[in-house]
């Protein structure tokens, strides 16, 4: 699974520009899906299973976009000014490296403010090694992602876009292991989550599910000097979301997820995220409403170029997802 | 005859936070069962009551939306048997210290919101308001027992008992928006003894305080031709005296602004004048902050009216409302609905 | 690539005296978000003879359909919002003075000392300011907040104005040399453009024109309009700020100009509400290049158009935005170039004439 994760996290795919990562995923799910389609906003939807009497049409959503940057201005000397795509902090930009969709590489510099001061995004620029505006290969509107290789620390793994490629990996692995399901499952690899859950919004309308689950990363409270500490921690099991800032998970599903984890002996932890949203909201509020939940993976340093997750949590997330999709869904 | 005070008190003593509406839904279900022809629950927990009209098929549909969910809190962590928490809906952290609450763990546990002394907080010797993240809930149990009975994600509701004040005023938590559910009950009761052409869909909506989830989803199935949103509005009182407030106990608010269809406003204003029901124009220059924000833009769009019951001390456990205004709101809604002619929709137009 | 074998059969539109007259009428009309009555009347009058079907929906959007001819017609939605930023009267005080709230994004610093028109009768009023003699130097360092301002309609206004009435800036439309100066160019330029496109609609497509409401308070009209039309693709036609002004430091470059006057229509690549479909961005840019129509990319960044609501409707609608660059949007006096408007109309008309099902047959490649 780690080689799949490495391939997923190292492919660039800022929101709205997911074609490269979509191609990787199309290839990865080809053998396990009964049917694959791409919708108007670029989400890849892989269907698996046939609905039986006790089954439902289920949507699983893992977003494949990541935060990134877009060029807004090339100055006379060939420096590239940029704006953010999704939640990019200037704190994690300085000294960072970026990769444009056409393969152009660059580094992020800053000047004009004192050392140790917090820059604004408008203080920063990308240097692609150009000597003038004329020989700068970047044009206004070009898009880049952060560049940082995957590193395997054994139990822990680090990469630039664990948010949310780790969820894509979980979904793909679950598709692979899911041998029998009473449900018609639509695995949605959604786009434009980081700019407002846009891909999941239209995908949910199209799939018209009876039940849905997002898979996403969540924050962890296990780093030094975070106070008061959020209750989730790396290695404490797959996280079952009760709420985040965007939606309240259906309490019937939450109870069922907890019972399922307990039954199967899968380590789990409860999650209440006070900031941030997930595709679960988009599923819950589509059409006339859908019971929706979310499987989370605790992650440190979210939206930095080095996001860290725990391998056991990832494995537990796969196991829980497979377990949930193998059983009839009980809403009571 | 429904006794308003009894009905309201029963609803006020029930929990039912946004996303966790089942306790209040059961009570509303019982109250509405004899007043409606059909009761269903939406996929995300709103209650839909259909009272069939006497007009010929196909009948037009009017939807009433009164959100039934409550604000409250949720456990985020447990330390030495004390709980940290976050809010559901918008709560001013300054009103929390010393409040009686119920923690809905594996069983309901009575508790109190605790403000730790300054020397246990990062500010040291400050006497300023304590942020919500540093407040705690104590349920009086030892840590091992708390660990068995409470987990992260459990909800916490206010436990303030309702109080009867003078002059038909009632105080308590979650009058926002159970008073509007009560007004809807009164409206349904009145419609029992009156003919009405249109089908009436009474909706006790879910999740208004968090996502407007009920209001975004229920109309998608019901597809009403018009919608009446009933919610509380600001009554004049301490700290609330500007143009956003209307007098307390002296009539209902008729919302006016982009969320409201002007022809529906006119319909309500004319009916209020005709019946001599006191009202105030409640101007809402931008969004109304009610279910109407969502209902108006569902599918191909739905004309909405916003009716307000003036309330003091919104989003505290001692919200205060006059029973008179609840009765007025119920009566006005019933009168408007009963008088909707089969072709009334042709007069709800933009080019007046 | 787009096939170009389906050339437009509709006559090419241009900007002449009658188009300018229409724009003048539109700009001088009042249509604050939520009360678009006056502009809606003008639009309905203009299009009643042209469109195959016209409806006014629950929110007050005007939805007009102009059907094309032939097989496999792409259903193209064009949206232009009718509403403008403005004010609502919220409270009455003594002496004909009224408290008001802003509707839409208006910089408070633009308010003092302006004339306004209030209510359906367009009654004249003023937003005054304290005499400089009675202010202190320290006070003049702070902006004057809206809550401290009043609209004054004179002492005998009586009940002719009441809370709930809308008001706008009283600026009248003028053509000055190569420019148009008016209030509400955002987005009466779009409305006028859409009317012209309806009058000269290419025949190989179905043109679904939405004159929308409540854009300035959250893209609300466009959402329900798109649901009703359920189009194959959509273009929001709007006006966007040109901040092509000098930097205070003469040696520094202005790297955040958003758009520039005289550079033609602005095609969007990213704003806060939409990541436009690159198939459509490329279609517009290639059309401009091939037809030699001036065209610029709007700098990626904040802001939003009706496309932000449209593209998320139902299962998703490929969308893009095109705006006329204007200076001083959302103030009493905005300014645009006639040439930019002409190019915008020409680009849209030419591009629409080149739409075929092939445009969307390929997967979104970004």
- 3-state SS track over chain C: CCCCCCCCCCCCCCCCHHHHHHHHHHHHCCCECCECHHHHHHHHHHHCCCCCEEEECCCCCEEEEECCCCCCCEEEEEEEECCECEEEEEEECHHHEEEEEEECCCCHHHCCCEEEEECCCCEEEEECCCCHHHCCCCHHHCCCCHHHCCEECCCCCCCCCCCCCEEEECCCCEEECCEEEECCHHHHHHHHHHHHHHHCCCCCEEEEEEEECCCCCCCHHHHHHHHHHCCCEEEEEEEEECCCCCCCCCCCCCCCCCCCCCCCCEECCCCCCCCCCHHHHHHHHHHHHHHCCCCEECCCCCCCCCHHHHCCCCCCCCEEEEEEEEECCCCCCEEEEHHHHHHHHHHHHHHHHCCCCHHHHCCCCC
Give the largest Cα separation in chain B, rounded: 72
Shortest distance, CA A21 to any CA of chain B (angstroms): 31
Query: Would you state the pLDDT for residue B76?
Result: 97
Over 50: is that where the pLDDT of C37 sits?
yes
Residues of A in contact with B218 (CB under 8 A): 288-289
Task: Please report, for residues A30, A180, C3, the alpha-carbon distance to residue A173 in angstroms, rounded to integers and kept in the order given.
Answer: 12, 14, 42
Contact C346, C291 (CB under 8 A): yes
Strands B61-67 and B199-205: parallel
Tokens standing for residue C303: 């802001």
Task: Tell the CATH superfamily of the B72-158 domain.
Answer: Peptidase M42, domain 2 (2.40.30.40)
Q: Are residues A234 and A321 in the same domain?
A: yes
Q: Are residues A165 and A18 in the same domain?
A: yes
Query: Would you state the pLDDT for residue C2?
Result: 41
Q: Please report the beta strands in B105-195, taking only residues with DSSP state E, as ranges in sequence order.
A: 108-114, 136-138, 155-158, 163-164, 169-172
Task: Tell the CATH superfamily of the B4-70+173-347 domain.
Answer: Zn peptidases (3.40.630.10)
End-to-end CA distance of chain A: 35
Domain boundary among A146, A172, A202: A146
Quote the crossing angle between the two packed helices B4-12 and B323-338, to the nearest 10°. Answer: 110
Domain boundary among A118, A146, A174: A146
Of B313, B311, B35, nearest in space to B179 by CA:
B311
Band of pLDDT at residue A158, cut at 50, 70 and 90: very high
In what helix (H) or strand (E) does residue B222 lie, and over which residues does it extend?
Answer: helix B213-222
C215 is catalytic: yes
Task: Convert the pLDDT of each residue in C60-117 to its tens digit.
Answer: 999 999 999 999 999 999 999 999 999 999 999 988 999 999 999 999 999 999 999 9
Of C187, C196, C192, nearest in space to C215 by CA:
C187
Over 50: is that where the pLDDT of C248 sits?
yes
End-to-end CA distance of chain B: 40
Dihedrals phi, psi of B324, to nearest 5 degrees: -60, -45
Interchain CB distance below 8 Å, B76 and A289: no
Q: Are residues A37 and A136 in the same domain?
A: no
Task: Please report, for residues C217, C268, C317, C332, the alpha-carbon distance to residue C276 in angstroms, rounded to integers and kept in the order given.
Answer: 21, 7, 10, 30
Total CB pairs under 8 A between chain A and C: 82
Query: Would you state the pLDDT for residue B123?
Result: 74
Residues of A in contact with B152 (CB under 8 A): 231, 242, 269-272
Residues of A in contact with C253 (CB under 8 A): 73, 75-76
Q: Who among A76, A141, A206 is closest to C300 (CB)?
A: A141
Dihedrals phi, psi of B269, to nearest 5 degrees: -65, -45
Over 70: is that where the pLDDT of A73 sits?
yes
The residues on A that touch C, with CB distances below 8 Å, are 15-19, 38-42, 70-73, 75-76, 81, 83, 85, 101, 122, 140-141, 192, 195, 198, 201-203, 205-206
Q: What angle do CA A139, A140, A142 make, to 5 degrees?
A: 70
Task: Convert the pLDDT of each residue in B169-205 to its tens digit.
Answer: 999 999 999 999 999 999 999 999 999 999 999 999 9
Domain ranges of chain B: 4-70+173-347, 72-158
Which one is catalytic: C36, C196, C215, C216? C215
Q: Are residues A8 and A52 in the same domain?
A: yes
- Peptide bond before residue C231 is cis, with ω within 30 degrees of 0: no
Could you give the CA distance from residue C191 to residue C43 in angstroms, rounded to a whole number?
A: 8
Distance of alpha carbon A249 from the chain centroid: 18
Residues of B in contact with A246 (CB under 8 A): 211
Three-state DSSP class for residue A293: strand
Q: Are residues A201 and A308 in the same domain?
A: yes
Q: Hunting for tokens 């009894």 — which residue is that? A: B6
Q: Are residues A235 and A290 in the same domain?
A: yes
Contact B108, B117 (CB under 8 A): no
Q: DSSP state, B134?
A: G
Across A191-203, average pLDDT: 97
Could you give the CA distance from residue B136 to residue B155 in angstroms, rounded to a whole number?
A: 14
Residues of B in contact with A255 (CB under 8 A): none
Contact B175, B183 (CB under 8 A): no
Is residue A152 situated within a structural domain?
no
Q: Who among B256, B301, B351 is closest to C59 (CB)?
A: B301
Over 50: is that where the pLDDT of C7 sits?
no
Could you give the CA distance from residue A274 to residue B87 in angstroms, rounded to a whole number?
A: 9
Query: Would you state the pLDDT for residue B352?
Result: 57
Is residue A168 situated within a structural domain?
yes
Shortest distance, CA C248 to any CA of chain A (angstroms): 16
The whole model's pTM is what?
Answer: 0.95
Interchain CB distance below 8 Å, A19 and C364: yes
Task: Convert the pLDDT of each residue in A47-67 to its tens digit.
Answer: 999 999 999 999 999 999 999
Q: Are residues A166 and A280 in the same domain?
A: yes
A295: CATH: 3.40.630.10
For residue B259, give the chain C residue with the closest CA. C34
Neighbouring-strand partners of residue C233: C76
Q: Who among B42, B78, B86 is closest to A288 (CB)?
A: B42
Interchain CB distance below 8 Å, B217 and A248: no
CA dihedral C298, C304, C305, C307 (to 10 degrees): 100
Neighbouring-strand partners of residue B103: B109, B156
Interchain CB distance below 8 Å, A40 and C365: no
Domain boundary among A146, A178, A213: A146
Characterise A217 by phi-psi region: left (phi > 0), alpha (psi -120 to 50), beta (else): beta
Q: What angle do CA A176, A181, A187 make, to 5 degrees?
A: 55
Shortest distance, CA A201 to any CA of chain C (angstroms): 7
Of B112, B83, B90, nearest in space to B99 by CA:
B112
Over 60: is that where the pLDDT of C6 sits?
no
Question: How many separate domains does chain A show?
Answer: 2
CA quadruple A297, A303, A309, A315: dihedral positive or negative? positive
Tokens standing for residue C285: 């840019």
Provide CB contacts within 8 A for B62, sequence distance 6+.
B198, B199, B200, B201, B224, B225, B226, B227, B228, B337, B340
Interface test with C, best of B61, B268, B286, B352 (most C CBs within 10 A): B286
- The verdict on B134 touching A (C-beta cutoff 8 Å) is yes
For residue C258, give the chain A residue with the closest CA. A72
Residues of C in contact with A15 (CB under 8 A): 275
In what helix (H) or strand (E) does residue B179 lie, and over which residues does it extend?
Answer: helix B175-192
Dihedrals phi, psi of A9, to nearest 5 degrees: -75, -25
Is residue A331 situated within a structural domain?
no
Three-state DSSP class for residue B9: helix
Shortest distance, CA B349 to any CA of chain C (angstroms): 8
- The verdict on B281 touching C (C-beta cutoff 8 Å) is yes
Which one is catalytic: A10, A66, A173, A193? A193
For residue C314, give the chain B residue with the closest CA. B299
Total CB pairs under 8 A between chain A and B: 82
Three-state DSSP class for residue A31: coil
| Radius of gyration of chain A from its Cα atoms, rounded to whole angstroms | 20
Could you give the CA distance from residue C100 to residue C118 in angstroms, rounded to a whole number?
A: 11
Is residue A332 situated within a structural domain?
no
In what helix (H) or strand (E) does residue B343 lie, and over which residues does it extend?
Answer: none
Domain carrying residue A180: 2-66+160-326
A79: CATH: 2.40.30.40
Interface test with C, best of A11, A13, A14, A16 (most C CBs within 10 A): A16
Query: Would you state the pLDDT for residue B52?
Result: 97
Q: Hunting for tokens 């902090």 — which residue is that? A: A89
CB atoms inside a 10 Å sphere around CB C55? 12
Task: Convert the pLDDT of each residue in C275-330 to its tens digit.
Answer: 999 999 999 999 999 999 999 999 999 999 999 999 999 999 999 999 999 999 99
| Domains located in chain C, CATH noted | 17-84+183-361 (3.40.630.10), 86-169 (2.40.30.40)
Q: Please report the beta strands in A111-169, taking only residues with DSSP state E, as ranges in sequence order.
A: 124-127, 143-146, 151-153, 156-159
Quote the crossing angle between the two packed helices C37-47 and C185-199, to the nearest 10°. Answer: 20
Query: Would you state the pLDDT for residue C5?
Result: 40
Residues of chain B with pLDDT under 50: none
Tokens standing for residue C327: 């200076």
**Of A229-233, B335-339, C239-243, minimum mean pLDDT range:** A229-233
Could you give the CA distance from residue C301 to residue A313 in angstroms, rounded to a whole number?
A: 37
Could you give the CA distance from residue A278 to residue B241 in angstroms, rounded to a whole number?
A: 39
Could you give the CA distance from residue A8 to residue A24 in angstroms, rounded to a whole number?
A: 7
Query: Would you state the pLDDT for residue C366?
Result: 60
Q: Please report the beta strands in chain B, taking only residues with DSSP state E, as ranges in sequence order.
A: 38-41, 47-51, 61-67, 72-79, 82-88, 100-104, 108-114, 136-138, 155-158, 163-164, 169-172, 199-205, 226-234, 252-256, 279-283, 304-312, 319-322
């Amino acid at each position: 699974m780690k080689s799949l994760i490495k391939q997923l996290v190292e492919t660039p795919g800022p929101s709205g520009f997911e074609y490269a990562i979509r191609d990787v995923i199309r290839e990865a799910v080809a053998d396990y899906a009964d049917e694959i389609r791409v919708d108007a906003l670029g989400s890849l939807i892989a269907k698996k299973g046939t609905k039986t009497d006790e089954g439902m049409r289920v949507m699983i959503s893992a977003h494949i976009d990541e935060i990134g940057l877009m060029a807004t201005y090339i100055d006379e000397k060939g420096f590239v000014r940029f704006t953010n795509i999704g939640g990019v902090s200037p704190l994690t930009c300085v000294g960072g490296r970026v990769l444009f969709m056409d393969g152009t590489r660059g580094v992020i510099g800053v000047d004009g403010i004192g050392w140790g001061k917090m820059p604004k995004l408008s203080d920063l620029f990308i240097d692609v090694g150009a000597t003038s505006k004329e020989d700068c290969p970047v044009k206004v509107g070009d898009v880049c992602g952060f560049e940082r290789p995957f590193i395997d620390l054994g139990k822990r793994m680090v990469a630039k876009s664990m948010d949310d490629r780790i969820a894509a990996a979980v979904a793909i692995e679950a598709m692979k292991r899911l041998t029998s399901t009473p449900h018609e499952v639509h695995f949605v690899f959604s786009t434009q989550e980081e700019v407002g859950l846009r891909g999941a919004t239209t995908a949910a309308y199209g799939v018209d599910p009876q039940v849905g689950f997002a898979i996403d990363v969540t924050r962890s409270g296990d780093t030094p000097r975070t106070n008061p500490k959020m209750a989730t921690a790396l290695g404490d099991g797959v996280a079952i979301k009760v709420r985040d800032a965007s939606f309240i998970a259906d309490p019937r599903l939450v109870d069922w997820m907890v019972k399922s984890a307990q039954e199967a002996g899968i380590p789990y932890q409860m999650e209440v995220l006070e900031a941030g949203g997930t595709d679960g909201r988009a599923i819950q509020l589509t059409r006339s409403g859908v019971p929706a939940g979310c499987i989370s993976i605790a992650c440190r340093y979210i939206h930095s170029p080095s996001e860290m997750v725990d391998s056991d949590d990832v494995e537990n997330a796969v196991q829980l997802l497979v377990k949930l999709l193998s059983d009839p869904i009980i809403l009571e | 005859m429904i006794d308003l005070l009894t009905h309201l008190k029963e609803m006020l003593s029930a929990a039912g936070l946004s996303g966790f509406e089942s306790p209040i839904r059961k009570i509303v279900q019982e109250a509405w069962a004899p007043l409606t022809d059909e009761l269903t629950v939406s996929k995300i927990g709103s209650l839909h009551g259909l009272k069939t009209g006497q007009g010929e098929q196909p009948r037009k549909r009017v939807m009433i939306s009164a959100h039934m969910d409550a604000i409250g809190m949720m456990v985020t962590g447990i330390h030495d048997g004390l709980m940290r928490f976050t809010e559901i809906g918008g709560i001013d952290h300054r009103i929390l210290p010393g409040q009686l609450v119920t923690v809905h763990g594996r069983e309901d546990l009575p508790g109190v919101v605790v403000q730790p002394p300054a020397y246990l907080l990062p500010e040291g010797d400050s006497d300023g308001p304590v942020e919500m993240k540093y407040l705690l809930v104590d349920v009086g149990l030892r840590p091992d027992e708390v660990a068995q009975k409470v987990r992260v994600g459990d909800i916490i509701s206010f436990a303030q008992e309702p109080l009867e004040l003078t002059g038909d005023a009632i105080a308590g938590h979650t009058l926002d928006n159970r008073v509007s559910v009560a007004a809807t009950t009164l409206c349904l009761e009145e419609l029992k003894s009156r003919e009405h052409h249109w089908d009436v869909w009474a909706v006790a909506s879910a999740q208004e305080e968090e996502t407007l989830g009920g209001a975004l989803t229920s109309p998608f199935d019901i597809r009403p031709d018009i919608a009446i949103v009933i919610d509380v509005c600001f009554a004049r009182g301490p700290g609330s005296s500007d143009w956003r407030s209307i007098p307390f106990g002296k009539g209902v608010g008729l919302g006016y602004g982009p969320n409201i269809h002007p022809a529906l406003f006119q319909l309500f204003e004319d009916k209020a004048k005709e019946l001599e029901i006191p009202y105030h124009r409640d101007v809402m220059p931008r969004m109304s902050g009610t279910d109407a924000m969502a209902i108006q833009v569902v599918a191909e769009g739905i004309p909405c009216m916003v009716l307000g019951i003036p309330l003091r001390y919104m989003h505290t456990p001692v919200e205060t409302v006059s029973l008179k205004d609840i009765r007025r709101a119920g009566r006005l809604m019933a009168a408007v609905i009963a008088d909707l002619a089969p072709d009334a929709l042709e007069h709800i137009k933009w080019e007046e | 690539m787009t096939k170009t074998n389906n050339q437009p059969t509709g006559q090419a539109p241009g900007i002449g005296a009658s188009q300018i007259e229409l724009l003048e009428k539109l700009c001088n009309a009042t249509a604050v978000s939520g009360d678009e009555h006056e502009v809606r009347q003008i639009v309905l009058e203009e299009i009643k003879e042209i469109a195959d079907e016209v409806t006014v929906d629950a929110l007050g959007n005007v939805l007009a359909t102009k059907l094309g001819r032939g097989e496999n017609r792409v259903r193209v939605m064009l949206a232009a919002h009718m509403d403008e930023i403005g004010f609502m009267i919220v409270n009455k005080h003594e002496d004909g003075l009224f408290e008001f709230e802003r509707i839409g994004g208006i910089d408070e610093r633009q308010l003092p000392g302006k004339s306004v028109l209030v209510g359906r009768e367009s009654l004249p009023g003023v937003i005054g300011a304290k005499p400089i003699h009675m202010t202190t130097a320290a006070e003049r360092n702070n902006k004057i907040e809206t809550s401290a301002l009043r609209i004054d309609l004179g002492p005998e206004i009586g009940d002719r104005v009441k809370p709930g009435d809308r008001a706008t800036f009283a600026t009248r439309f003028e053509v000055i040399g190569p420019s148009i100066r008016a209030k509400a160019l955002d987005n009466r330029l779009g409305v006028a453009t859409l009317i012209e496109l309806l009058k000269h609609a290419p025949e190989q497509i179905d043109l679904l024109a939405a004159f929308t409401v409540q854009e300035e308070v959250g893209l609300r009209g466009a959402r329900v309009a798109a649901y009703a039309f359920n189009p194959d693709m959509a273009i929001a036609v709007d006006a966007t700020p040109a901040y092509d002004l000098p930097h205070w430091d003469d040696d520094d470059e202005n790297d955040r100009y958003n758009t520039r006057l005289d550079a033609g229509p602005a095609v969007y690549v990213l704003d806060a509400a939409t990541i436009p479909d690159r198939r459509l961005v490329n279609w517009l840019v290639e059309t401009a290049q091939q037809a030699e129509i001036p065209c610029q990319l709007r700098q990626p960044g904040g802001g939003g158009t009706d496309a932000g609501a449209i593209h998320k409707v139902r299962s998703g609608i490929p969308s893009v935005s095109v705006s006329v660059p204007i200076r001083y949007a959302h103030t009493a006096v905005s300014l645009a170039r006639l040439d930019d408007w002409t190019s915008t109309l020409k680009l849209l008309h030419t591009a629409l004439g080149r739409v075929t099902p092939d445009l969307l047959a390929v997967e979104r490649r970004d």
